[in-house]
C-alpha cells in the first residue's frame, strides 16, 4: 500500500488504469489497496468517475534516501515502515533476529506507541515523527547515565533549527513550547547491564497534528505546525534530528553529560519554578535549581539544596500536582 500512497501523495487525480500500470497490478487490486488505505491507515481517498482517485489533501511521506542525504555525515542506516505497533518494539525484534546496531527506524504511524511510565503516545498516520535509534554500549549502564537529557537537548536543538525557537527542556526528557509538550523520549535497554548492552532511543515529535486531534492526549500539547502556522516536511526535521543526535551523542560518549550540562541548562524552562517531585504516592515539594553533572535534578527543599535521580520520578509544577 505504501507504494500506491507514494503515487497518490501529490494530491492529484490518477486513474485506476494508470496506477495499475505503474505498480504492475490489476485495477481490482488497486481498488483493494485503496480500501486498505482508508480502513487500515485512515487515509481519505476521493473517487470521481472519469477522473480516478486522489487524496483529500497532499502528503509528504518519509523517505529514507532523502533523510540520509540531508543528514550529511550521519552514517546510521535508516529504514521507514508504513505502520508498526512501536518503533522501539520493532527494534528489539530486529535485534533478536540478528540485526546489528547502530541503525534508525521510522514509522508513518504506530498502533501502540508508548511513552514513559506506560503512557500511550498518540501516533496518527503521516503527521508526526516516530523514530528509534539503537546503539551498542560497551561498559555497562553507567555509560547511559543522563543519556535521556542529552537526547532531549538534541531534539530541542533540531526543533529550533527548524524554526521552533521557543523549544525548551523539562527534566528529565520532555521538550516543551510555552508549557505544552511537543516531544517525548523513551530509552530502553537490552543485554548485559554490567557489560555490553544495547540502548534503544525512542523519540516522538508532534509535527503536523492539528489542535482537534487526537482526543486521547491527556496533557497540554502542541505541534510544529501550530508553532509555525504551516506544515513542515518531516523529512527535513528527521534529517536535522539525526544530525543533532550524532553531535550531542558524540560529546556524551567522550565527556559524559558534564560536557553538555551548560548547554542543557540554557534551554531549561523550569528553573526557579516551584514543583512537586513524585515517586509513587510520595511527593517532595521544592524549587528547581537546575541539574548536576550527572543529570540529577537539583531542588531547594525547605532551603536545602538536594539532588534526585531515577527513572520512575515525575516532575510537575506545584499547581498541576
Task: Provide the pLDDT confidence category of residue 2 given band limits of 50, 70 and 90.
Answer: confident
What are the backbone angles phi and psi of residue 176, rounded to the nearest 5°? -120, 155
Task: Provide the pLDDT confidence category of residue 282 given band limits of 50, 70 and 90.
Answer: confident
Number of domains the chain contains: 3
Top mean pLDDT of 25-34, 54-63, 217-226, 255-264 is at 255-264
Higher-confidence position of 320 and 312: 312
Would you state the pLDDT for residue 321?
42
Strand (E) or helix (H) holding 316: strand 314-317
Which whole number is the average pLDDT over 92-101?
A: 95
Do 49 and 96 have their domain in common?
A: no
Q: Which of 92, 81, 163 is nearest to 123 (CA)?
A: 81
Distances (CA, A) of 69 to 2, 41, 239, 243: 21, 28, 8, 11
Do 122 and 238 have their domain in common?
A: yes
pLDDT, one tens digit per residue, over 193-228 is 778 889 999 999 999 987 555 555 567 899 999 999
pLDDT for residue 244 is more than 60: yes
Q: Which of 144, 119, 138, 142 is nearest to 200 (CA)?
A: 144
Do 127 and 255 have their domain in common?
A: yes
Which of 136-145, 235-244, 263-272 is predicted with the least confidence, judged by mean pLDDT?
136-145
Instruction: Indicate which residues carry an active-site annotation.
Output: 116, 181, 316
Do 278 and 225 have their domain in common?
A: no
Do 87 and 184 have their domain in common?
A: yes
> Cα torsion at 210, 243, 139, 315 (round to 10°)?
-30
Do 260 and 279 have their domain in common?
A: no
Would you state the pLDDT for residue 144?
87
Residue finishing a domain among 242, 266, 290: 266
C-beta atoms surrounding 184 within 10 Å: 22
Which of 13-22, 49-58, 241-250, 253-262 is predicted with the least confidence, judged by mean pLDDT?
49-58
Would you state the pLDDT for residue 222?
94
Annotated binding-site residues for biotin read: 86-88, 110, 114-116, 181
Higher-confidence position of 226 and 116: 226
Asked whether 309 and 296 are in contact (CB, 8 A), the reply is yes
Top mean pLDDT of 50-59, 161-170, 203-212, 270-279 is at 161-170
Do 140 and 226 have their domain in common?
A: yes
Would you state the pLDDT for residue 200?
96
Domain carrying residue 108: 64-266
Q: Which of 285, 9, 265, 241 is nearest to 104 (CA)?
A: 241
Give the CATH number for residue 304: 2.30.30.100
Amino acid at each position: 500500500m505504501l507504494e500506491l500512497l507514494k503515487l497518490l501523495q501529490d494530491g492529484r487525480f490518477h486513474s485506476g488504469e494508470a496506477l495499475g500500470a505503474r505498480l504492475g497490478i490489476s485495477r481490482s487490486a488497486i481498488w483493494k489497496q485503496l480500501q486498505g488505505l482508508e480502513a487500515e491507515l485512515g487515509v481519505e481517498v476521493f473517487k470521481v468517475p472519469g477522473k480516478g482517485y486522489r487524496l483529500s489533501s497532499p502528503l509528504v511521506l518519509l523517505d529514507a534516501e532523502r533523510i540520509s542525504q540531508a543528514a550529511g555525515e550521519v552514517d546510521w542506516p535508516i529504514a521507514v515502515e508504513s505502520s508498526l505497533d512501536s518503533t522501539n518494539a520493532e527494534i528489539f525484534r530486529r535485534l533478536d533476529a540478528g540485526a546489528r546496531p547502530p541503525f534508525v527506524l521510522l514509522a508513518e504511524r504506530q498502533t501502540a506507541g508508548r511513552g514513559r511510565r506506560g503512557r500511550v503516545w498518540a501516533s496518527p498516520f503521516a503527521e508526526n515523527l516516530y523514530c528509534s535509534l539503537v546503539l551498542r554500549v560497551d561498559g555497562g549502564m553507567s555509560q547511559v547515565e543522563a543519556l535521556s537529557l542529552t537526547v532531549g537537548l538534541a531534539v530541542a536543538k533540531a526543533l529550533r533549527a527548524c524554526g521552533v525557537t521557543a523549544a525548551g527542556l523539562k527534566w528529565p526528557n520532555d521538550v516543551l513550547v510555552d508549557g505544552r509538550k511537543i516531544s517525548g523520549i523513551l530509552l530502553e535497554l537490552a543485554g548485559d547491564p554490567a557489560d555490553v548492552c544495547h540502548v534503544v532511543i525512542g523519540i516522538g515529535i508532534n509535527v503536523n497534528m492539528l489542535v482537534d486531534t487526537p482526543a486521547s492526549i491527556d496533557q497540554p500539547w502542541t505541534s510544529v505546525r501550530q508553532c509555525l502556522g504551516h506544515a513542515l516536511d518531516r523529512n527535513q526535521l528527521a534529517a536535522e534530528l539525526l544530525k543533532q543526535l550524532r553531535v550531542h551523542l558524540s560529546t556524551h560518549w567522550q565527556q559524559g553529560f558534564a560536557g553538555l550540562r551548560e548547554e542543557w541548562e540554557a534551554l531549561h524552562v523550569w528553573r526557579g519554578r516551584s514543583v512537586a517531585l513524585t515517586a509513587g504516592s510520595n511527593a517532595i515539594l521544592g524549587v528547581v535549581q537546575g541539574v548536576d553533572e550527572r543529570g540529577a535534578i537539583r531542588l531547594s527543599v525547605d532551603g536545602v539544596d538536594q539532588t534526585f535521580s531515577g527513572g520512575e520520578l515525575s516532575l510537575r509544577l506545584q499547581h498541576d500536582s
